[in-house]
Amino acid sequence: MPEIKLPEDFVTYPEARKKAFMALKALKEQGRRVVGIFCTYAPQELIDAADATSVSLCAIGEENIPAAEKVLPKNLCPLIKASYGGAVTDHCPFFYFSDMVLAESTCDGKKKMYEYLDKLKHTHVMQLPPGRDGRGAQEYWRQEVVAAKEDIENFYGITITEEKLREAIKLRNRERKAILDYYEVGRLKPSPISGYELNTVITSNEYAFDIEKKIAFLEKRTAELVEKYHSEYEGKPSRPRILISGCPTHGVIDKVIKRIEELGADVVGFENCCGPREKKDPVDETKDPITALAEKYLRVNCSVMSPNPGRYEALSEQIDDYQVDGVIEVVLMACHTYAIESEAMKQFVTKEKGIPFLSITTDYSTTDQGQIDTRLGAFIELLG
Ligand code: BJ8
């Protein structure tokens, strides 16, 4: 079985979460404010500017699902069930330590789940417009950013100043740049980085609460990888290069991402929320901060937006820039918005971009691993 290229000090996602739990506990003991988030639409700068730590809440783990199914329907996306299950059972230490949750009305399942979550802990739901280009959408969403800011202020009895917002925007833009540079190592051919590492590190980094340290870590690792490319990989043959698209993959890293690489291909990029989706797009530092945040976060290319033209543009650019040989789309079971976009994505990738496309629908269980391996194996063989 081909070996996956990993750094010596590689930390798996479960290990990173365990470490983060201790770090967050220490922060709480020092009296730090903590706000939980779930989604890429969450304007983290609002939380930073409130002198609070934002933490990604657990949305993975098959063990979290049975408790959720006591309240939520079984035929719901595993990410939503694991989010609620982790919270209601206290299996998610980050939810336990959060003072409140900043959420958004993305898909129907998530927004209805938040009604139950709010009974456990104050959950502010920002109401997204159904499409980013609809009449009044921008101004409506700007008002939602204002409302979220005011709710955080009222909750903590503080004022979020413009100066604090500007500082937060600058810091998060530097973080975005460091993350983007790290992702873009995947453009090198042959890739010196494993997609398994990319997915793990970026997802684990959501638990690195010191942003300056996170930036320094990513800059160092990016420099090491570029150096490694020139000394070990440049000019050598490449394995088939895969781009991942669709739903977030942090709940299926081992089941899908790692398996693709064990079966002989390189995952070189992600066109999903585990990838550079929002990192490529900094917040405009010259504008009024609330307007700039509203504009930036409404540009996230998620299938909950209708229409969602940005996803085609992002896919097209990434296929070219990362010299991709095939796209594998991961759709979480019962995720209607990504499932519906799937046929259009297939047509776009195969007809417009002229490369093969495979869509896999799965959940967090391991019962379909054999079937997934068979499909991945056949696809990779097709790519040669
Ligand atoms: S911005 S992708 S993180 S919503 S997979 S819960 S859409 S039924 S996770 Fe997502 Fe924000 Fe979009 Fe990104 Fe619903 Fe689909 Fe489940 Fe989903």
Kindly report, residue by residue over 160-214, the tens digit of the pLDDT. 999 999 999 999 999 999 999 999 999 999 999 999 999 898 888 888 899 999 9
Distance CA 181, CA 171 (A): 16
Rounded-to-integer distance, Cα 375 and Cα 362, Å: 12
- In a domain, residue 248? The reply is no
Q: What is the pLDDT of residue 376?
A: 98
Does residue 127 form part of some domain?
yes
Give a yes or no: residue 343 inside a domain: no
Q: Which candidate, 252, 222, 225, 238, places its Cα nearest to that of 328?
A: 252
Tell me, using a 6 A CB cutoff, whether residue 55 lines ligand 1: no
Q: pLDDT digits over 299-329, tens only?
A: 999 999 999 999 999 999 999 999 999 999 9
Which protein residue's CA is at the shortest distance from atom 7 of ligand 1?
Answer: 107
Q: Answer yes or no: is the C-beta of 361 below 6 A from any ligand 1 atom.
A: no
Beta bridge partners of 330: 246, 360
What predicted TM-score, i.e. pTM, was given to this entire model? 0.94
- For residue 109, give its domain range: 13-160
Task: Give the pLDDT of residue 3.
Answer: 58
Residue 83 within a domain: yes
Low-confidence ranges of the chain (pLDDT < 70): 1-4
Determine, yes or no, domain membership for 57: yes
Residue 101's beta-bridge partner residues?
36, 123
Q: At CA 125, angle to CA 120 and CA 127, rounded to 5? A: 155
Assigned domain for 46 exists: yes
* Per-residue pLDDT at 1: 47
Number of domains in the chain: 1
As a whole number of angstroms, the distance between CA 330 and CA 273 comes to 12
Q: How far is CA 161 from CA 110, 139, 344, in A?
A: 31, 21, 44
For residue 374, give Cα distances in angstroms to 47, 260, 370, 380: 44, 11, 6, 10
The pLDDT value given to residue 316: 97
CATH for 129: 3.40.50.11890
The pLDDT of residue 13 is: 79
40 assigned to some structural domain = yes
d(CA 117, CA 346): 35
Partners of 246 in the beta sheet? 330
Closest Cα to atom 15, ligand 1: which residue? 335
Does residue 139 sit within a domain? yes
Rounded Cα distance between 266 and 172, Å, is 29
Structure tokens at 87: 């919270």
Task: Give the CA distances from residue 378 to residues 74, 269, 358, 373, 374, in Å, rounded to whole numbers and listed in that order.
Answer: 31, 20, 10, 8, 6
CA of 8 to the centre of ligand 1 (A): 33
